[in-house]
Structures are given as structure tokens and as C-alpha cells.
Structure 1
Amino acid sequence: MIKVERLSFSFPQKELYNNISFTLDEAQHCAFIGTSGSGKSTLIDILMDPERYLFDGKLEIDPDCTIGYVSQFSELDNTKETTVFEYIGEQFIKIQNEIQSICTEMETSSDIEPLLEKYQLALDAFDAMGGNDFESNIHKQLSLANLMKRRDLKVTDLSGGEFKLIQVIKEMFNRPDLMIMDEPDVFLDFENLNALKKLINSHKGMLLVVTHSRYLLNHCFNKIIHLENMEIQEFDGRYIEYNFSLLQTKIELQELAVAEHEEIERNENIINNLRAIATNNSEASRGRTLKARVKFHERLEARRIKAPFVDIKQPNISFGIDNEIEDTIVVNVNNYSVGFDELLLDNVNFEIKSTDKVAIIGSNGTGKTTLLREIFKNNHDSIEINADVKVAYLSQLQGEMLKDSNTILEEFIDAGFKTYDEIRLYLSNYGFEGEIVSQKIESLSGGEKNILQLAKVSASKANVLLLDEPTSHLDTYTQIALEKAIKEFKGAILMISHDFYSVVNGMDYVLIIDDKTIRKMSMPKFRRMIYASHFDRDYLETEQKKKSVEMKIELALKDTDFERAKGLIDELEELIKLL
């Protein structure tokens, strides 16, 4: 239904696409992935409104194709007093009311013919939308998302995560030919994320979903579109199979690259010898031989293997520390309570030691962010911070810690850097190079803003890090780099996260919000709790084995032991079949 051929587009400061091509066909559930700032949201805008953009290439969209859209940013009209049911069924209720109004008018009208025609048109439109079953269909979708209990609630009374799911249900319910969702999973707690997974997997139409959620990527989608380095790669199959394909390609290309490098080195030695001979021997044949060999060398260099989809640049995140503290309590929360219209948290007690890595886990809207912000501000009677502590904070509200009107360079001058050259060198570790450092922060993608926040947190050299949804908007490669940085950090971390992978891969234990208070839970118990509810038996063990084999392959490649890498690939393939 949608075909893109050799499309190129750039902004004045940045080239986004170079001759990219892909197709979207009926019934495909497609994940759209790529590193932060690569232009995924812009490409979606082009698909939805091509007239706004001056691009080269060809974009063909079936003229009858209808497109539904769910933004990564929740937008709610607070002036409307609408229930969940009325919000989802808005189009159906509107036509239903119109039919009722025509019927009422027919009861008293003397000229009934035009009203009958109007009545029939409205009935046909209602039938075409599947209106006869719309109420039971809404109930099915709400039940699937575990939101049936919210049916008659005002939309304005929903949590942010619940409203996101209601947006998805509404768009799916309108049955567009193509439904586009831009990071619908951002900030969803695990229950709501699981509900989103069910909605995606039950949808019968065509889907294009921008997501960095490893949970969704591993459990949804039958096609992958990967945008990287201005190019696109298509893969028909699951994400887990796509990653396996990338690893296979990486082994093949690295083996070829090593052989090529050896050939180039041999050729360089021959050229150097010919030059030495030509210096002492002026025969024309010697010069011709040297010239031919140099041309051959140029051809070898020109064909040198490029692999944009297997050598993806990860930021080098590293949380340094100025003042390591001995094993002592750095944050103490004693009898903390908070509430707005209603009590959110009551009688909360916990302490964080100087090297603890802890995740706060709880549903959307249970007071986690308020608690973390008050620890950062350190002006609450129930919160005590050790005098030797230096705290750094990453906010899920990016404008809280970044000034949109600043350029990236100005932001880091404000953060204490002395020169622009020092900033440029530092930010190159985080993928910000060239002209982008002179851009305003407001022009960056959500993922780029979060990487920038991580860079500021790292530069602070703090010994206690407060991280509120640090993986939101981050691509999977940056998420993995962040997990590594968290493991290597010598201080304490208190993190709010709904990303199951980041929690189990980096935290020592979790603080679970339960019945308006907080209790400590060990990591093995937390794993068992999540897996019992959402994963098949033995999934965790198999996934851990898969990760172990992948690491062994990476080590084999580092040692250029390609035979061992190929042997491990067979082992990895068997594990992937189990997943």
C-alpha cells in the first residue's frame, strides 16, 4: 500500500536520508528502529503529509489508504468532559446521534422523502464502520487492555499510561488501513506495556511502530525497518531473527575485512619496494609497474568493506566520580508521605547505601517521580542526605534539566566547562559531533535530549545518581551502553524505570510501591514475579544463555577467531528457536 523509492531528504544542518527505499504491505506489523536523531519521526511526518516536504525520490501511497496516528506525546483536551467509552466511540456515537435526530425529525415532518434519503446515507455510513457491534467491540478492546473498569471514568481522570492505551484503542477502533505509532511505549509501566503488546498483536491491520522497547521488539512485529547512517535496511521476520542476521553478517564482513586489510598491507609493501627500485633505476617499465600497482591499491581502498548496519556507533557513557564514600547510608527516607487530590504514598521508609543500585517500581501515577524530585531538592523533613553526597538528577521532563533555547555548547558552558573545544571533545563520546553541537536543544529528538542529560549527569562526577526513566526515547544500543555504565559506576543509583531489561541487568534490588507504601524486594524474587505474569516458562534462562553466547561471539571476533565465532552462531541459532 505504501512504496518509497530512492528518497533523499535533508535539513540545512543535517542530511537524514540518502536514496532510501522500502515498502509497507497489508497485514504487516512493522517495527521502525534506528539510533536517536536518525530521522524516524521526520520520515513518519513525510508519510503522513508529503506535501509539506521537499524531498527527492518517489513516494507512492494507495489513494484509498487511510492513516491513523498515535503521537509519542499525549495530547488531551482538558475542557471536554468525556468518558472513556465516549472518547473511543466518538465517531460511532456522532452518527448514532445523527440517525436518532433524523428519526425524531421524521415524526413531525410533512416532507419525509429527503429525510429518508438522509437517514439511509447515515445508516450506510454506520454499517460501513461496523457500527452495529461497536459497543461490544469497544468492550473487547478495553478488556484486552485490562481497562474495562475505566469504561465510565472521565478521560481526564486517567493516568498518563492509561490515556496512551485509550488513544491506541481509539485509533485501532477507527480501522485505518495503516496505523502509525511513534514510541507509544514511552513511560508505560509494565502492566500497561503488556496491554499494549496484546493490542498490537491482536490488530488485524497494517502497523508501523517506532519503538526502542526491547520487550515489544522481542514479542511483536513480523517486519523490521532499520534506519541507520542515512540508509534503510528491510527485514521480513522477527526482531530477534534480525539481530541474529546482523551478527551473522558481522562475522562474514569482519572475516573479509581482515583478509582485505592483509591484502592492502601486502600491496603497500610491494609499492614501497617498487618506489625504492624506481629511485635507483630510471627504466620506463619500472615506472609503469609502480603506476599500475598504485592504481590497483586505490581500487582496493575504494572497495574496502562498509557495514553501516553491523557496526553501529554506541555512545561511550561513563559515570565518573569525584568523591567515593565508604559503605555508609547516603539517602535516608523516614515516614515520607505525599498526596495531591488523594494520598499517593504514606509511611514510606527506606535507606540507600553508598554503592546500592536500586530501582523504584510502581504503576503510572503512584508518586515515584514526586519522591525522586524531592530527594533531589532535599528540602523535605522526611528525607535526609549524607553531607558528603553530591547528587545528579536526570528528569523524565527533559525541559526541567535542559534549557530549550540554549545551544548544546551553551548548555555545557552553563554546566561548568571552560572552552568550546573541551565540550566538543567530551560530547564526541556521546555521538554529538560536527555542526549538531551548535543546534538549539529544542531541535533535538527525545532520544538525543536524554543522551544529553546522561552526558550532563556524567560530567557532574556525582556519587549519587537519581535517574527518572533514563531509557525513555533511547535506542536499544544506547540502552545497552547505559546498562554497562550503571554496572561500572562506583556510587549509588536510585532509578525509576519501567524497562524490565534495564532493571534486571543493572539493579541490586527493587523498591516496590504496594498499597501506597514501599517495600524492598530482592532481584531474584522480582524476576520470578515478572516472569510468572508475562513470560513463558524457562524464557529467562534461555535468554540469559543467548546473551552469554552473543558475548562469546563478540570476544571471538575481537580475537579474529572466525571459526569459533561460526561454531557459536550455530549454538545461538538453536537458542533463538526456543525463544
Structure 2
Amino acid sequence: MIKVDNLSFSFPQKELFKNISFTLEEAQHCAFIGTNGNGKSTLIDILMDPDRYLFEGKLEIDPTCKIGHVSQFSQLDKTKETTVFEYIGEQFIKIQNEITSICMEMETSSDIESLLEKYQLALDAFDAIGGDDFESNMNKKLNLANLMKLKDLRVSDLSGGEFKLIQVMKEMLHRPDVMIMDEPDVFLDFDNLNALKNLINSHKGILLVVTHNRYLLNHCFNKVIHLEDMEIQEFDGRYLDYNFSLLQTKIELQEIAVAEKEESERNEKIINNLRVIATYNSEASRGRALKARVRFQERLEARRIKAPFVAIKQPDIRFGIENEIEDAVVVNVNNYSVTFDELLLDNVNFEIKSTDKVAIIGSNGTGKTTLLRDIFKNNKDSIEINADVKVAYLSQVQDEMLKDSNTIVEEFIDAGFATYDEVRSYLSNYGFEGEIVNQKIASLSGGEKNLLQLAKVSASNANVLLLDEPTSHLDTYTQIALEKAIVDYKGAIIMISHDFYTVVNGMDYVLIINDKTIRKMSMRKFRQMIYASHFDKDYLEAEQNKKSVEMKIELALKATDFERAKGLVDELEALIKLL
């Protein structure tokens, strides 16, 4: 359906792709992955509208191919009174009305021939979207996503997550040959994420989905396209199997690298000895031997294997803390309530101690963000903040904490850094190096903006962190780096997140929104609740065992014990087959 052949493209300030090639073919559900800022969304834009871009190489799209698209950022039109049924069925209703209008016109018009032609075109368009079964298919999609209750609601009354799912359904019901979605999972709660999984897995056509969500990656796709450092790698199989193949390659390359390093060091010693001898023995044979050894060393360096898909550098996220607070309550919420059009939260009571790491969990639109923002603003009588607390805040609305008109450097100068060199040195830990620091924040990807927010939070050295959807748009490598930073942090964290892995890997307990109030839940019970709702019976145990073996492999590689690492890989392969 779609073939990309040796495609290259760059912006004035950055080269994005260099001779990349891949294909999208029948029955492929493809995950499109890669670190933030590598150009995934740009590549999708090129696929959607190739005439807009000046690129090198070939892009072949079957002329009969119909492409559906769900964009990364979608805005709800609050002014329209359209119902969910009318929104999803917009094209269906339009064609249906057109057919009715043509039939009525036929009753009085003498120009039957042109009307018959219009009638046939309308019938063909109706058939192309499965018009006879359209409403039945729509009801099936709504039931699959457990959203049948929304059918007669106004679109303007939906939460952001519900609207995203409705967009996905609308595009799928148009029966595209290729469906392209750019991070459709961002901000979805657990139930809506599960609904998206069901919609993806039920779709019969080709799918290309940009996602960093580990739940979807592990459960939805039969092909992986990985964009990294201007190169593309294709893998036919599950994301779990792709990661396993990368781990095997990593072990192999590290073993080769250790052997090559030893050989290089031996050769360097020989070169140094030959140079010493050459200072007092000028025989031509000695000179030739020295030159031969130098050339051999150059060849050793040249053949070093470069593996952009294996050796991916994680950002070095570290949440510093200037003033640790010893075993005290840092945030006290007492009888807190919030109302918009309706009462969202009522009689909310909880306290956060100085080293608590807590996730606030609840469905979309239940008041979580408002609560976190109110804690940050500290202007409610129902919220009491310890006098020794310094708060840092990461907002899911990125331009709330970042100024789009600033360059990256200017943003951090405004945040209190003294010099440009200081900013550059600091941001290099987060992967912002070279000319990118002079780019406007408005030009960055969603993941790059969130990574900048994390860098600002870290630089604040605050002892209480308020993180609203910190993993949104972040690539999986940065998500893992964030989890490690959370575990190592010595202060308190209150985090809103729908990312199951970040919650269970970093939080001490959760605060669950239920029936307009909040109750505390242990991590053990939370795990059991999520696994009972969204995973197979034995998935939790298999995944925990997998993670344990992966950590053992990592330790074996650090110790360059390659035989042990290879033995553990066999054990890991057996576990992956259970997932």
C-alpha cells in the first residue's frame, strides 16, 4: 500500500532522515517508535501530504489507497451542539441526506439522466463506508470501547480522553486502507486506554501508530518501525520480541567491543614500543612495521560497530533537593471540594509526608489536575503547605510552564541560570546539545517539551514535586530514566499519571478517586485491581519474573560476564513466550 524508498529530509537546523526505507502492507498493525525529537510526527505529515514537503527519495502510495488520520493534538469544539452519533456518522448522514434529496428531485425533474449519475455516485460513496451496516458497526465500536452510553451526548460534554476515542472510531468507520495515528493514547485513563487497545486490535486494515505507551506496545502490534538517529529499522513481530532481539544484539556487540578494545590496547602498546625503537634505530624495516601497525589500528577503529538502535543514550534525570524535611507532613488536604458544571470532588482528605511518593488515580475529568494545581497555587483554606516546603510543578498543559516564544537557553536563563555555558552544560544531561538549544520552544515536539519541564523541575531542587502526566509524549527510554529518578529522589512526589508502569515502578501508594472523593490504596491492591481488569490471570507474575531476569542480565553485562548473560537470555526468552 505504502512504500518509502531512500527518503531523506531535513529542516534548516536539523537533519531528520537519511535514506530511510520501509513498507506498510496488508494486515500489518505497526508501532512507530523512537526517541523524542527524531521526526516521527514529521514523517507522518509527509505521508499524509507529500506535496507539502521537499524531500529526496521515493514515496510510493497506491493511488486507490484511502488514508485515515488521528492527529497528536486534537481540539474539542465546545461551541457545537453535535451529538456523538452525529459526529461519528457525519459522512454517513451527509450521504444519506444526499441520496434522499436526489430521490425527491427525481420525482419532479425531467433531467433524470444526470440525476441517475449523481444517484449512482452517492450510492458508491455510501457503499464505500459500509452505509447499509454503518449504524450497526458504529454501535459495535461503541460497545467495544464501553462507550455506548455516550451515543446521544453532545461532543462538547465529553472528556478529552473520550473525545480521542470517538475520533479513532470515526476514522475507523470510514474504512480507510491505512489508518495513521499519532500518540492517540496521551492522557487516556486506564479504562479508555483499554478501550483503545480493543479498537486497535479489532481493526481489519493497516495501522501505523506512533506510541510510547508500554501497555499498547506490548499488546497491540505485529510489526515495529524504529526511527533513531536518522535511520529506520523494521521488525516483523511483537514489540516484546523486538526488545528481546535488541537485547541479544546488545550482548553480542558488547562482547565484540570488549574483544576489540583488548586487541586495540595490545596494538597500541606495540605501536608505542615501535615508536620508542624508532628513536634510536632508523632502519627502514622498523619504519614500515610502525606504519603497518598504525594502519591496522586505524582499521580497528573504523570497523567498530555502530548500533543506534541498541546504544540509545537515556537522559540523566536527577531530582536534586536543597532542603530535606525530616519525617513531617508537607501537604495536608482537609475537606477539599471542587465544582465546575457539576460537583467533581467533595470532602477530600489526605496528608502527604516528606518522603511519600503518591499517584493520584482517576478517570478523565474527575478533577485531578484542578486539585494538583490548587496545591501548587496554595490559595485554598482546605490545603495547608508546610512552611519549609519548596514546590516544583510540571503541567500537562505545557505552555503553562514553558514560554513558546523563548529559545531553550532563554527559558533556563529566565529560570535562574547565570550563563549560557551553564545552561548548555546542564541541558546536555537531557540530550539537548548543539544548536537545538537556540531553537524556539514552540518548534519542539511534545516529548521534548515535557523533557524540558522535567529539567526545570530538577533544577529547582524543590522538596515537593507536583507532576501532572509527566510521561505524556515521552519515549520509553526517557520514561525508564524518569522512573529511576523518582525512586532515587529524597523528597515527596504527588503525581497524576495513567501510565501503569510508572505508577507501579515508582510510587509508594495511590490515592484513588471514587464516588467524588479520594481513598488511599496500597500498591499491592492497586496492582491486583489493574491486573484483574486489564491483564490475563498470570500476566503479573510473568512480567515480574521477566523484569527480575532483565535486571540480572544488566548486572552480568556490567561485570562483562557474557556467558552468564547468554544463559539468562534463554531464561528470558521462555518468560516472554508467556506474555
TM-score w.r.t. length of structure 2? 0.99
Answer with 410-419 or 4-13: which moved more.
Answer: 4-13
State the Cα deviation string for residues 254-300 of structure 1 (Å, max 9, x = none): 00011111111111111111111222111111111111111111111
State the Cα deviation string for residues 78-119 of structure 1 (Å, max 9, x = none): 333211111111111111101111222233335544434433
State the Cα deviation string for residues 215-267 of structure 1 (Å, max 9, x = none): 00000000000111111111000000000000000000000011111111111
Task: Name the structure 2 match of 1:530.
Answer: 530
Whether the 8 Å CA contact 2:129–2:173 is kept in 1: the answer is no
Task: Name the structure 2 match of 1:140.
Answer: 140
How far apart, CA to CA, are the structure 2 residues paired with 1:110 and 1:449?
A: 62
Q: How many residues align?
A: 579
How far apart, CA to CA, are the structure 1 residues paired with 2:382 and 2:172?
A: 46
Task: Name the structure 2 match of 1:403.
Answer: 403
Task: Name the structure 1 match of 2:86.
Answer: 86
Task: Name the structure 2 match of 1:226.
Answer: 226
State the Cα deviation string for residues 109-140 of structure 1 (Å, max 9, x = none): 35544434433332233223211111111100
Task: Name the structure 2 match of 1:150.
Answer: 150
Whether the 8 Å CA contact 2:224–2:239 is kept in 1: the answer is yes
Task: Name the structure 1 match of 2:370.
Answer: 370
Whether the 8 Å CA contact 2:339–2:345 is kept in 1: the answer is yes
Answer with 63-72 or 476-485: which moved more.
Answer: 63-72
Whether the 8 Å CA contact 2:357–2:508 is kept in 1: the answer is yes
State the Cα deviation string for residues 374-394 of structure 1 (Å, max 9, x = none): 000000111000000000000
Paired residue secondary structure (2:327): coil
How far apart, CA to CA, are the structure 1 residues paired with 2:344 and 2:325?
A: 33
How far apart, CA to CA, are the structure 1 residues paired with 2:121 and 2:457?
A: 61
Question: 1:554, CA displacement in angstroms?
Answer: 0.9
Task: Name the structure 2 match of 1:252.
Answer: 252
Q: Which residue type is aligned with residue 287 of structure 2?
A: G
How far apart, CA to CA, are the structure 2 residues paired with 1:297 and 1:410?
A: 44
Q: Is 1:429 matched up with 2:422? A: no
How far apart, CA to CA, are the structure 1 residues paired with 2:419 and 2:78?
A: 46
Task: Name the structure 2 match of 1:35.
Answer: 35
Q: Is 1:577 matched up with 2:577? A: yes
Paired residue secondary structure (1:337): strand
Task: Name the structure 1 match of 2:333.
Answer: 333
Task: Name the structure 2 match of 1:511.
Answer: 511
Question: 1:468, CA displacement in angstroms?
Answer: 0.1
How far apart, CA to CA, are the structure 2 residues paired with 1:20 and 1:118?
A: 44
How far apart, CA to CA, are the structure 1 residues paired with 2:578 and 2:76?
A: 42
How far apart, CA to CA, are the structure 1 residues paired with 2:98 and 2:359?
A: 52
Task: Name the structure 2 match of 1:237.
Answer: 237
How far apart, CA to CA, are the structure 2 residues paired with 1:486 and 1:272?
A: 48
Q: Which residue type is aligned with residue 572 of structure 1?
A: L
Task: Name the structure 2 match of 1:485.
Answer: 485
How far apart, CA to CA, are the structure 1 residues paired with 2:111 and 2:260?
A: 86
How far apart, CA to CA, are the structure 1 residues paired with 2:62 and 2:110?
A: 45
RMSD over aligned Cα, in angstroms?
1.0
Answer with 106-115 or 414-423: which moved more.
Answer: 106-115
Unaligned runs of at least 5 residues, structure 2: none
Paired residue secondary structure (1:35): coil
Q: How does 1:68-467 map to 2 (within 5 A)?
A: 68-467=68-467
Question: 1:55, CA displacement in angstroms?
Answer: 1.5
Paired residue secondary structure (1:108): coil
Paired residue secondary structure (2:292): helix
Unaligned runs of at least 5 residues, structure 1: none
State the Cα deviation string for residues 328-363 of structure 1 (Å, max 9, x = none): 110011111111111111111111011100000000
Q: Which residue type is aligned with residue 329 of structure 2?
A: I
CA distance 1:109–1:5, change in 2 (3 Å)? closer
Paired residue secondary structure (2:180): strand
How far apart, CA to CA, are the structure 1 residues paired with 2:115 and 2:355?
A: 75
Q: Which residue type is aligned with residue 274 of structure 1?
A: L
State the Cα deviation string for residues 404-438 of structure 1 (Å, max 9, x = none): 11111111111111111111111111111111111
How far apart, CA to CA, are the structure 2 residues paired with 1:76 and 1:376?
A: 27
State the Cα deviation string for residues 150-182 of structure 1 (Å, max 9, x = none): 001111111100000000000001111111100
Paired residue secondary structure (1:418): coil
Paired residue secondary structure (1:409): helix
Task: Name the structure 1 match of 2:542.
Answer: 542
CA distance 1:20–1:114, change in 2 (3 Å)? closer
Q: Which residue type is aligned with residue 536 of structure 2?
A: D
Paired residue secondary structure (1:280): coil
Whether the 8 Å CA contact 2:79–2:156 is kept in 1: the answer is no
How far apart, CA to CA, are the structure 2 residues paired with 1:62 and 1:123?
A: 23
Question: 1:213, CA displacement in angstroms?
Answer: 0.2
TM-score w.r.t. length of structure 1? 0.99
Question: 1:323, CA displacement in angstroms?
Answer: 0.5
Q: Which residue type is aligned with residue 370 of structure 1?
A: T
Percent identity of the aligned residues?
86
Whether the 8 Å CA contact 2:359–2:507 is kept in 1: the answer is yes
Answer with 420-429 or 120-129: which moved more.
Answer: 120-129
CA distance 1:300–1:470, change in 2 (3 Å)? same
Paired residue secondary structure (1:510): strand
Q: How does 1:51-66 map to 2 (within 5 A)?
A: 51-66=51-66
How far apart, CA to CA, are the structure 1 residues paired with 2:113 and 2:45?
A: 45
CA distance 1:118–1:64, change in 2 (3 Å)? closer
Paired residue secondary structure (1:9): strand
